[in-house]
Structure 1
Amino acid sequence: MSYVAIYISILSALLAAAISPGPSFLTVSRISASHSRSDGLAAAAAMGLGGCLFSVLALAGLTSLLSRFQWLDVVLKLLGGGYLVYIGIQSWRHASSPLPRTTATSGGKSIWRSFRSAFLVQVSNPKTIVVYASVFASLLPAETPTEFIATIPIGVFMIETGWYALVALGFSSHHVQGAYDSAKRLIDRSVGILIAGLGVRLIGLAHH
């Protein structure tokens, strides 16, 4: 198999994983619907950066380190799960609060907050690095040139950012934002329950 075919296979597998609903999708869709298109695209870029970071760690062999030092894996899952539970609780608590409208003076700060929040959600789930490592182990040949390996994180960034940019563009439309305005309490509480539930599940995995 040529390296082009291998590259396409890897990115296709990672795109399928990115499309699967999870805390990242919920975060980007909520930010896009509740703030602005720029906030949503900033969140998408944050997801891409987080995915790029995880791919670098997976290629560097962090998964081997986690399997060797079980306590480190447990700590990461507890921290990541705890953060997701915190995000879920915050979403529930502020479900009745009015939407923070972006103004000309607060736009930059709002976009930075959206980027930061999305990045923290993306890196809070250490299961992602296991997915990446599994894909790389399955599809990368034993003897792979360093130059080829160096291109993989770039591809991961493009895949993650591209997918979540589409999500941001869809959920930041006026129609979706209008629907969000009218059902904010229900949506925020539902999203809070889902994200907190994913956090609890991640914490539960730490005890197995």
Structure 2
Amino acid sequence: MTFAPELATLATVLLLGCISPGPDFVAVTSHALTDRGSGLRIACGIATAITLWAALSVAGLAFVLSRIAVLYELVRLAGAAFLIYLGIRMLVTTWRRRPSTVAPMRAAPRPGSFKRGFLIGITNPKSAVFFSSLFATILPAHAPDWVYGATIALAAGTALGWFVVVALAFSLGRVQRVYARARRGIDTVMGTLLTMLGLRLALIR
């Protein structure tokens, strides 16, 4: 048995999951608009967290987390708090800038971008539910070890490929020139979205 149909289905669902708007997309775009290095680093951090969630799901640990209410709630609240912190920090930084300093672009990558991306990805408890249910639904029982290894590789490649493409697209010179002209407004929208996503994660059961 080749398992090609199952792996193709997994790859499609994983890509759709990455494409769907969420805090990871907002984080990558907001960093990439500032500079390409930060966008790529945060993309790699998010992809690393997604890969870890996929590995934990294969090991069965994510399934346990998704079934233990206390652990799920702790991860959910930690993720919500981190998103709200990032959103408020962006809003405060944006509105503290003097108008004359809004237009110039930063040349140096933001420090800690990789870690920030990893924390955004790893504190998303929906990943535990997503991967556990996805693998249980699509992968056949008692599949050989190489199938699970290929599944983890698919998760890593899909997440890294998509978010790197997003980072590169939003760091293009033309896009950055538009951003430079409307930086305060765009950063306000990005910060508000991160804060709202954090509040949504905190409040929705």
Q: TM-score scaled by structure 2? A: 0.89
Question: What is the deviation of 1:72?
Answer: 1.0
- In 2, the alpha carbon distance for the partners of 1:186 and 1:93 equals 13
Matched residue, 2:185 = 186
Q: Does 1:125 align with 2:124?
A: yes
Question: Residue 204 of structure 1 corresponds to which residue in structure 2?
Answer: 203
Q: 1:77 to 1:65 in 2, by over 3 A?
A: same
Cα deviation code 1:50-106 (max 9, x no counterpart): 110110112222343224431111111111111111111011111143567235xxx
Alignment of 1:1-150 (within 5 A): 2-35=2-35, 37-96=36-95, 97=97, 98=101, 101-103=106-108, 110=109, 113-150=112-149
Q: Which residue pairs with 1:162 in the alignment? A: 161
CA distances 1:101-149 after superposition (whole Å, capped 9, x unpaired): 235xxxxxx3652222222212221112211112111100012111221
Task: Output the TM-score relative to the length of structure 1.
Answer: 0.88
CA separation in 2, counterparts of 1:129 and 1:143? 21
Rate the CA distance shift 1:113–1:100 in 2: closer, same or farther, 3 A: farther
CA distance in 1, matches of 2:110, 2:81: 24
Task: Please give the secondary structure, in 1, of the residue aligned with 2:113.
Answer: helix
- Residue 12 of structure 2 aligns to which amino acid in structure 1? S
In 2, distance between residues paired with 1:61 and 1:186? Answer: 44
Q: Which has the larger displacement, 181-190 or 115-124? A: 115-124
Following superposition, the deviation at residue 43 of structure 1 comes to: 2.0
Task: Tell me the distance in 2 between the aligned counterparts of 1:92 and 1:203.
Answer: 19
State whether residues 32 and 38 of structure 2, in contact with CA within 8 Å, keep that contact through their aligned partners in structure 1.
yes
Name the count of aligned residue pairs. 199
Amino acid in structure 2 at the alignment position of 1:11: A
C-alpha separation in 1, matches of 2:202 and 2:38: 29
Percentage of matched positions with identical amino acids? 33
Amino acid at match of 1:161: L
Distance change in 2, residues 1:172/1:146 (3 Å): same
Amino acid aligned to 2:48: L
What secondary structure, in the 3-state scheme, does the structure 1 residue paired with 2:94 have? coil
Matching residue's letter, 1:159: T
Cα 1:91–1:22 shift into 2, 3 Å = same
Superposed CA RMSD in Å reads: 1.8
Match of 1:20, as an amino acid?
A: S
Q: CA contact under 8 A between 2:84 and 2:196: conserved in structure 1?
A: yes
Distance 1:161 1:67, change over 3 A: closer
Work out the CA distance in 1 between the residues paired with 2:185 and 2:203: 27
Given that 2:53 and 2:62 are in contact with CA atoms closer than 8 Å, whether structure 1 keeps it comes out as no
